[in-house]
Structure 1
């Protein structure tokens, strides 16, 4: 067992323990409020359970030797650089970080529905340039479905923004 393998196993074990503690705290929070809206424990519970499942399965895969590293070499460019470290990938990552940072004011000023539609459309047209029809379809339908889920289905409060154009 190499030092990297043991470090990875230790990291995954710490992640599993941290995820379990986070989940325990999340289950102490209220599921819903007295007004019938989703409470402060709604999403933390879901995230906590998913974290425990993910960290646990990653640790089990690492302990049994069924990881991507044990199955073969990672993708590399001709100079021997890992694919994730290539400058184009780093630029895409920085661009995505910038888009996410810009998304917060978009939500506050334009409202949830318009902000989500613009964010999704911009992201899709930047990273999926060859399929404009699919981009428009996904860029409108997915945010609308999320908006209806949170606003109508879960009765969550979403930012109305300067243009509260939703008639229903």
Structure 2
């Protein structure tokens, strides 16, 4: 399952990089264009995910057993992420980010509930303030208005 996940991430990285080539690398004045960061981030993603995929394939070839706990965790993470994508425009960015981070942390680190609550409030609030207040990115408000 881990090798499949790494393979899917590698495919995503390749698609992300190809999509980055739709934008100009440099502007006509020689400054960084809209395609500068997507290309470099894409190349780094491809490199990192290819290394991870290669290591996971080698592990699968060595050990034929399947880790059931890891598989359950990965399927749960995919489900939580799918709900995040669906709920993001409906209930808004802030509430969706708080819920997403909380449930991911609860899944991965269920023994530290207080820490999970603090992290799931601080980081989404910081992200929201960064995007909405400082950058004026116009993220989805949802039906609650925030």
Q: TM-score, normalised by structure 2?
A: 0.66
Contact 2:102 2:117 in 1 (8 A): yes
Gaps of 5+ in 2: 1-9, 28-33
- Equivalent residue in structure 1 for 2:77, among 96, 100, 107: 96
Alignment CA distance shift 1:109-1:93 (3 Å): same
Larger radius of gyration: 1
**What's the CA shift string for 1:35-87, capped at 9, x where partnerless?**
xxxxxx3xx6423211223445788x8xxxxx869xxx8499xxx435xx412
C-alpha contact (below 8 Å) 1:23/1:49 kept by paired residues: no
The equivalent residue for 1:25 is 22
For the residues of structure 1 that align with 2:81 and 2:47, how far apart are their CA atoms? 29
- Alpha-carbon displacement from aligned partner over 1:3-60 (angstroms, at most 9, x marks no partner): xxxxxxxxx9xx88x94x5544333699xxxxxxxxxx3xx6423211223445788x
Does 2:64 match 1:81?
Answer: yes
Cα pair distance change 1:129/1:55, threshold 3 Å:
same
Q: Distance in 2 between matches of 1:100 and 1:57?
A: 22
Correspondence for 2:127 among 146, 155, 164: 146
* CA displacement at 1:125 relative to structure 2: 1.0
The structural deviation recorded for 1:104 is 2.3
Partners of 2:47 and 2:75 lie apart in 1 by 30
How many residues matched? 125
Give the match's secondary structure for 1:25: coil
Whether the 8 Å CA contact 1:103–1:115 is kept in 2: the answer is: yes
Q: Does 1:131 align with 2:112?
A: yes
The answer to which structure, 1 or 2, has the higher relative contact order (CA under 8 A, 6+ apart) is 2
- Deviation per residue, 1:106-154 (Å, 9 max, x gap): 2222211111101111111121111112111110011111111111222
Using the alignment, how far apart are the partners of 2:105 and 2:49 within structure 1? 30
Which structure shows the bigger proportion of residues in helix conformation?
A: 2
